[in-house]
C-alpha cells in the first residue's frame, strides 16, 4: 500500500492513501440566545480555508517531530505544506490545531488542522491612456498652442545734464548695479562719457 508523503516545515509525515486530503471552507454557525425565546442558529458564512486529518508519527524522531509541530502551532508562524504529486495542495499554511499522544517511544498519534494563508488579490492599475495628438488648425496653425507672449517694449531716455548710468539703472531697472545692462544695450565703453541729448535704449 503506497503512502502519501506530506511535509510541514521541517517535519515529514506519511499518510495512508485512504486519507482524504483537501482544503475546504466549512460554514460557521453561531448560536444566538434570546431571553424568553429558543436559541437561534445563525449562518455566519464560510470559515477560513482549512485541511485536517489524523495519523501517526512513527520512528525514532516521532517525539521530536511532535514537539516541532507543537512549537509551530504555538508560534502562529506561517510554514510550507508540500505534497509531492499534489501540486494544487502545496500552500503556505499555519497550524491551527495539533493534538498528539505519545503511544510509545517511537509512535505518536495526532490530529492536525491547517489553515491556508490566502494572499491578497493583486490589483493591477490600468495603463494610462495616451492623449490624442492635437489637431492642427486650418491653415497649418495649432489650436492648442499658446499665443506668443507680447514683446515688452523698450524704453528710451534722452540724456540730460547730470545723468549717470547708475542713476538711470536705479530709475528704470530698480537697481543701480544694473547700469552695465544699459551700457551693453547702447555699446557704451566708457560710462563717464555721456553726451547731452544722446538717446539711450533702456533694456526691459
135-167 per-position pLDDT tens digit: 665 655 555 666 665 555 678 889 888 888 888
Sign of the dihedral through C-alpha 89, 90, 94, 99: positive
Which of 79-88, 126-135, 165-174 has the weakest average pLDDT? 126-135
* Cell 516521532, residue located: 62
Tell me the DSSP string of 83-143. -TT-GGG-EEEEEEEEEEEEEETTEEEEEEEEEE-PPPPPPPPPPPPPPPPPPBPTTS-BT
Report the alpha-carbon distance of residue 1 to residue 15 in Å, rounded: 11
Q: What is the pLDDT of residues 11-66, one digit of tens each?
A: 888 776 656 666 666 555 566 676 777 776 655 555 578 888 888 999 999 999 99
> What pLDDT does 39 receive?
74
Report the alpha-carbon distance of residue 11 to residue 55 in Å, rounded: 14
> What pLDDT does 62 receive?
92
Report the alpha-carbon distance of residue 74 to residue 97 in Å, rounded: 9
Q: How many residues does the chain have?
A: 204
Percentage of the chain beyond pLDDT 70 is 69
CATH architecture of 155-202: Roll (3.10)
> What pLDDT does 134 receive?
62
Report the alpha-carbon distance of residue 96 to residue 73 in Å, rounded: 6
pLDDT band at 108 (very low <50, low <70, confident <90, very high): very high
DSSP 3: P
Domain definitions of the chain by residue range: 4-116, 155-202
> What pLDDT does 101 receive?
94
pLDDT band at 69 (very low <50, low <70, confident <90, very high): very high
> What pLDDT does 123 receive?
55
Q: Is the pLDDT of residue 176 over 60?
A: yes
Secondary structure of residue 59 in the 3-state scheme: coil
CATH 3.40.50 fits 4-116, yes or no: no
Amino acid at each position: 500500500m503506497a503512502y502519501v508523503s506530506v511535509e510541514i516545515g521541517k517535519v515529514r509525515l506519511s499518510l495512508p492513501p485512504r486519507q482524504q486530503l483537501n482544503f475546504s471552507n466549512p460554514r460557521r454557525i453561531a448560536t444566538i440566545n434570546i431571553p424568553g425565546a429558543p436559541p437561534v442558529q445563525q449562518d455566519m458564512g464560510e470559515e477560513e480555508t482549512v485541511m485536517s486529518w489524523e495519523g501517526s508519527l512513527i520512528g525514532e524522531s516521532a517525539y521530536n517531530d511532535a514537539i516541532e509541530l507543537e512549537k509551530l502551532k504555538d508560534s502562529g508562524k506561517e510554514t510550507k505544506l508540500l505534497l509531492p504529486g499534489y501540486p494544487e495542495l502545496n500552500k503556505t499554511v499555519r497550524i491551527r490545531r495539533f493534538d498528539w499522544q505519545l503511544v510509545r517511544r517511537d509512535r505518536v498519534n495526532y490530529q492536525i488542522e491547517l489553515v491556508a494563508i490566502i494572499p491578497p488579490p493583486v490589483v493591477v492599475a490600468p495603463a494610462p491612456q495616451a492623449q490624442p495628438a492635437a489637431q492642427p488648425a486650418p491653415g497649418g496653425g495649432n489650436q492648442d498652442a499658446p499665443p506668443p507672449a507680447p514683446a515688452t517694449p523698450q524704453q528710451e531716455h534722452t540724456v540730460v545734464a547730470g545723468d549717470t548710468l547708475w542713476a538711470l539703472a536705479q530709475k528704470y531697472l530698480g537697481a543701480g548695479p544694473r547700469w552695465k545692462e544699459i551700457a551693453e544695450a547702447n555699446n557704451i565703453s566708457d560710462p563717464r562719457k555721456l553726451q547731452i541729448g544722446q538717446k539711450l535704449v533702456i533694456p526691459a
